Chains A and B, each alone.
Chain A
Amino acid sequence: DAKTTQPPSMDCAEGRAANLPCNHSTISGNEYVYWYRQIHSQGPQYIIHGLKNNETNEMASLIITEDRKSSTLILPHATLRDTAVYYCIVRVSGETSGSRLTFGEGTQLTVNP
């Protein structure tokens, strides 16, 4: 799986959009970008994933650059409960996918009142 690079920490004001960047310059054509988050003392939580098109669900939006070398997770209206470590993970998906998720150190997002 390709390596990802994320800033170690970010701050965001409550109610504002949180934009979390991720670099994955060695991503392969069949690798997806996944985002998980981990609130303190809980297990990681799946947020969203995508291949090359932008994706949106009830939690967040994922913007992937045209060359697929970087992506941004957007939380449109951050709340205090969004304070967590956010992990960007690149992996193959589908029938021939590997099993494991390879977590880096992630980005600690702190949402401030």
Chain B
Amino acid sequence: DTGVSQDPRHKITKRGQNVTFRCDPISEHNRLYWYRQTLGQGPEFLTYFQNEAQLEKSRLLSDRFSAERPKGSFSTLEIQRTEQGDSAMYLCASSLSFGEQYFGPGTRLTVT
């Protein structure tokens, strides 16, 4: 257990529905990251926050995806109008500014 928690651990949804995932980072960590991982591939970066500011977004983060970190603590990742291609493991990580990233257990999304 790294101290990063994610909720839910598993989510099954129907195509076209909206889903929201939550990540609680290690409490003193000011950076929070979201990654996506599909079967057989390494994780791919989506976005990151420093405190409450979203500083970088990947091209993978289409306009159906939105992430927030309202008070610089927990973060949410919302996917609107889900598609089957969104099925993946969504990983959250946190770090101190210059430090190693510690990953949560992930949320596995299945879109049917």
Query: Of A94, A97, A102, which one neighbours B45 at CB under 8 angstroms?
Result: A102
Q: Which residues of B contact A (CB under 8 A)?
A: 2, 4, 31, 33, 35, 40-45, 48, 55-56, 58, 91, 93, 97-98, 100-106
Q: 6 closest A-B pairs (Cβ-Cβ)? A: A103-B42, A43-B103, A100-B45, A46-B100, A99-B48, A44-B103
Is A46 within 8 A of B102, CB to CB? yes
Total contacting residues, chain A, CB less than 8 A? 21
Is A94 within 8 A of B98, CB to CB? yes
Is B2 within 8 A of A45, CB to CB? yes
Residues of B contacting A99 in the complex (Cβ-Cβ under 8 angstroms): 31, 33, 45, 48, 55-56
Closest to A104 in B: B42
Max chain B Cβ within 10 angstroms of own Cβ: one of A34, A85, A103, A106: A103
Query: Of B31, B56, B93, B98, which one neighbours A43 at CB under 8 angstroms?
Result: B93
